[in-house]
Chain A
Amino acid sequence: MVLRIVAIVAGLALALAGTVEAQTPRKGGTIRMTAPYGSSFTSLDIHTTQRAQDEIYAKALHRSLYIWNSAEGKPVLELAKEDVVSGGGLVHTFKLRDDAYFHNGRKMTADDIIWSYNRIMDGTKAYPGARFVRVIEGAAAVEKGQAKEISGLKKIDDFTLEMKLTEKVEPGFYFFTALTSIYPADEGAKDSFIQKPIGLGPFKFVEHVPGSRIVLERWDRFYKPGKPYADKIVVSIMGEAAARDVAFRNKEIDTSVLGPAQYVAYQSDAALKGTIVEVAEVFTRYMGMNPSFKPFADKRVRQAINYAIDTDLIINKLVKGKAYRATSWLPLTSPAYDKAMKPYPYDPAKAKQLLTEAGYPQGFEFEWTTSQNESWGLPIVSAVIPMLDKVGIKAKVKQVETAVLAEVVRTGDYQAFVYSQASGPDPQAALKCFHSSTPQPACNYMNFKNADFDKIVDEAGQADDPAKRIELLQKANALLYEEAPVWFFNYNKAVMAVQPWLKGVQLNATELTHQNVEDLWVDETSPAK
């Protein structure tokens, strides 16, 4: 089953790549993307917002030190041409691009990167990108107000930057999202920047109609020769799936994210079936169990939960096949995903047996905190409750809104919860969330503590050989599966409908709506001129 899924994903990627290669990109035209995750963009200051919604426009407007390469499934250098590693893997010397111009016409230099990273570490602002920049030596001191500048960043010359890290990690995973976008140091501090942002990206800002759209136009001095192809990009905010569906069918938009119901409808419609692209995103959906709630402290109880739920049935019937079965924490598109792993089978008898062994032959009752999310919230909980009831476990639902759930999860104020959490793209960072040194509010939401697990993850962090590192991470992932701190539900299958005239769409496993827009182009059949 898993191999089949991998094959499908790979096949789709090859098919898409083949299509792009076979045609010559057309210059001009307008790309009309949609932002489907709310009714507004949070801010035009992308350092301040961690919503996937905002990165959709930011990918066109801004650039970071690295960029996600969907074909290779990893981050690659973007604002630097070369990264020379020294100091036992901790010191990175970047040879920066000398042809990257901000939208005000000024060339980017090492000062802009240092200024941007210092800004992100401003300890009075809680910029979400701080979690990534913190890996640079001295960044935490700036955040705590103990230093003014990050000591681990050194300008060698205008186009050479030295970065000293606190851990031996691949910096690409830390500096590829828009949260660490490089701003022009002279303009970024001005109040006007929020109204009219200036970036290094392939498109420059034209207009923002809050709650409706952002319009961007081609930046002619973009550093990649011949790119971007399109003249203009319009990103429309369309939080309602049904409205998006009408607009897509009416050819008013070029992309539309599909939910489970639409996924089924589009698959069964001959005219729309060919528009679907899908990818296994690096998000794991799960039910977290609080080990300080007595029954969940016992591994056998947590395993029993995994055996008691017919996960495949829920994925097929309720999620309409718009998900991949989770085998452990690391998702299908993770470099450390282990194809040999098998999911917990549906086995209520085994669940009963484990509960009896753990001292709960009659089961127990717990409170399950959930949001109303259709893919991993209340509908899923409602379907699981009778399954758990079959083995004697009673669940009481506590429904909260998503923002409250995030707070509940961070503070540990729950017996169990259901959630969707990033489980990549960096497998080491994803598994580090379960390291006992990771505080609960950071991302160790189940407050998982296991000395064996810590040891393996630490070893992986010190490994110089990438193959050895992957092997260790797979071992840690397997241990996590055995310990079952969560009910391993699914990995998100992101699905987007793409009009046939829009070419170059990348199967981005980190978030399908985040496209490197300089690679997109529209052919002459596009109705938008």
Chain B
Amino acid sequence: MLSFLFRRLLQTIPTVLAVVLLVFVLFSVVPGSIVTSMSDDADPQVELRLKKQLGLDQPVYVRFGAYIAKLVTGDFGTSFRTREPVTAMIAKRAWPTLQLIFAAMAFSVAIGVPLGFIAALRPGGIVDTLAMVVAVSGLSIAKFWLGLVLMYLFALKLGWLPSFGYGDGGLKYLLLPAVTLGVSPMALFARTTRAAVLEIMTADFVRTARSKGMSETRVVKWHVMRNALVIILTTVGLQFGGLMGQAVVVEKLFSWPGIGSLLVDSVLQRDIPAVQGSILVVVLAFLAINLLIDVLYGVIDPRIRYA
């Protein structure tokens, strides 16, 4: 297992390098500069001096090399805009984003997986039909619109929850953004679970278990659930990455202080170190979650072994 983990960690290095390089190149070719966004009346000499100070007068490959050299020491650089270390900026934003993503994931798994399971156990029934209507709707609804509807309903009409803000980070502030973010993966989990369970139900080993006289409850518990979990887990892992991307919209809508809004503002203001740092953290988180999922495969399904 340890050698597997070590190998997987080594494999992440080229992925991270590729992402960093891509962001570097992209921000070198798109028009607009940090100096313009800082002052639309900067003296040309000041502009040159500032570019020099920020290292922007160097060729891309030199800047890239310098950035990588810093990166290996854990230094993400200093924000062009705020003059703060990027690590400090990201640290402030990481917890709210994690709160949001894990809450959304918890909601989507807690509702989506049982919904798909129940639907699959009675295919074609009322529950199945309703579950699939919910699933299709959940996948089709735009997050922005859904968030507004939830705000309107639960804040304005019912008065149960605040419509925006982080507050003290408590549950009442987290609920609406988490549900907004979680509805789409919830729908996907319901569909994936249903499809997986239906497929496993017709598998040979399930038929064998039944023919040996195993009760339906035990068949579902020991054979169907365990096998379906591997598929569900894969979907969960993939969805984590998706949620990080989609969190931008939800964070902006609900004034939630996460990495998403930091990323958007940094892009608009050409704050390259902050953009690189934010993207890098998102990629690292995505890779870490995928690694965790791979490890969990082995725990759930003993047939999966790591050489």
Q: Which of A31-56 contact B (CB under 8 A)?
A: 38-40, 42-45, 48-50
Question: Are A124's CB and B53's CB within 8 A?
Answer: yes
B36 CB-CB contact with A under 8 Å: yes
B contact residues around A246 at 8 Å (CB): 148, 151-152, 155-156, 163-164
Contact mask for chain A residues 230-252; partner B; CB cutoff 8 A; 1 contact, 0 none: 00000011111011001101101
- Known contacts being A48-B38, A403-B37, A406-B40, is A130 close to B269, with CB within 8 Å? no
Query: Which residues 198-214 of A sit at the B interface, judged by CB distance below 8 A?
Result: 209-213
Contact with A along B53-91 (1 / 0, CB 8 A): 100000000000000000000000000011110000100
Q: Which residues of A contact B93 (CB under 8 A)?
A: 210-211
Is B31's beta carbon under 8 Å from chain A? yes
Q: When A43-B82, A209-B166, A250-B163 are in contact, do A239 and B43 touch as well, CB less than 8 Å? A: no
Q: Which residues of chain B are near A252, meaning CB under 8 Å?
A: 155, 162-165
Give the complex CA separation of A308 and B239 in angstroms.
53
Whole-angstrom CA separation of A144 from B44 in the bound complex: 10
B30 and chain A: residue at smallest CB distance: A404
Q: 1/0 contact trace for A393-406 toward B, CB 8 Å? A: 00000001111101
Q: Please name 9 further chain A to chain B contacts, defined as beta carbons within 8 Å, in addition to the given A39-B255, A126-B38, A126-B50, sorted by A numbering.
A: A50-B38, A130-B46, A210-B257, A211-B251, A243-B151, A250-B156, A252-B163, A406-B32, A442-B41
Tell whether, in the assembled complex, residue B32 and residue A404 are in contact, meaning their CB atoms are under 8 Å apart. yes
**Cross-interface CB contact of B251 among A39, A50, A145, cutoff 8 Å:** A39
Option from B37, B41, B83, B253 in Cβ contact (under 8 Å) with A243: B253
Binding site for B on A (CB under 8 A): 38-40, 42-45, 48-50, 123-128, 130-131, 140, 143-145, 194, 209-213, 236-240, 242-243, 246-247, 249-250, 252, 400-404, 406-408, 410, 441-443
Q: How far is the CA of A43 from the CA of B262 in the complex (A)?
A: 12
- Is there contact, CB below 8 Å, between A210 and B262? yes
4 nearest CB pairs, A to B:
A211-B257, A39-B261, A128-B39, A212-B257
The smallest C-beta distance from B158 to any residue of chain A, in angstroms, reads: 11
The answer to whether residues A212 and B40 also contact, given A39-B252, A45-B83, A123-B45 and a CB cut-off of 8 A, is no
Q: Is the CB of A238 within 8 A of B255?
A: yes
B122 contact set on A, CB distance < 8 A: none
Interface string of B3-31 (1 = CB under 8 A from A): 00000000000000000000000000011
With A249-B156, A404-B32 as given contacts, are A212 and B50 in contact (CB-CB < 8 Å)?
A: no
Report A213 CB to chain B, min CB distance, Å: 7
Is B33 in contact with chain A by the CB < 8 A criterion?
A: yes
* B43 pairs with A123, CB closer than 8 A: yes
Query: Is B265 an interface residue, CB under 8 A from the partner?
Result: yes
B231 within 8 A of A: no
Task: For B83, give the chain A residue with the smallest CB separation.
Answer: A194
Docked pose: A48 CA to B39 CA in angstroms: 9
> Could you tell me which B residues sit within 8 Å of A by CB distance?
30-33, 35-47, 49-50, 53, 81-84, 89, 92-93, 96, 144, 147-148, 151-152, 155-156, 159, 162-166, 251-258, 261-262, 264-265, 268-270
- The residue of chain B having its C-beta at the shortest distance from the C-beta of A249 within the complex is B156
Shortest Cβ distance from B30 into chain A, in angstroms?
A: 8
Cα–Cα, bound, A231→B213 (Å): 74
Q: Which chain A positions have C-beta within 8 A of B147?
A: 243
> Given that A38-B265, A210-B262 are contacting pairs, would A144 and B43 also be in contact in the complex, using a CB cutoff of 8 Å?
yes
Instruction: Tell me, in angstroms, the Cα distance from A143 to B47 when the chains sit together.
Output: 11
Q: How far is the CB of B170 from chain A (nearest CB, A)?
A: 13
Judge whether B164 and A144 touch: CB under 8 Å. no
- In this complex, the member of B35, B96, B155, B165 whose beta carbon has the largest number of chain A beta carbons within 10 angstroms is B165
Indicate if the CB atoms of A403 and B270 lie closer than 8 Å. yes
Is there contact, CB below 8 Å, between B165 and A443? no
CA A236 – CA B43 in complex, angstroms?
34
The reply to whether B264 and A39 form a contact with Cβ atoms under 8 Å apart is yes
Given contacts A143-B43, A407-B31, contact A48 B262 (CB under 8 A): no
Residues of B within 8 A of A131 (CB): 39, 41
Which of the listed residues A194, A246, A410 has the most CB atoms from chain B within 10 Å of its own CB?
A: A246
Distance in angstroms from B52 CB to nearest chain A CB is 9
Cβ B262 vs Cβ A40 within 8 A: yes
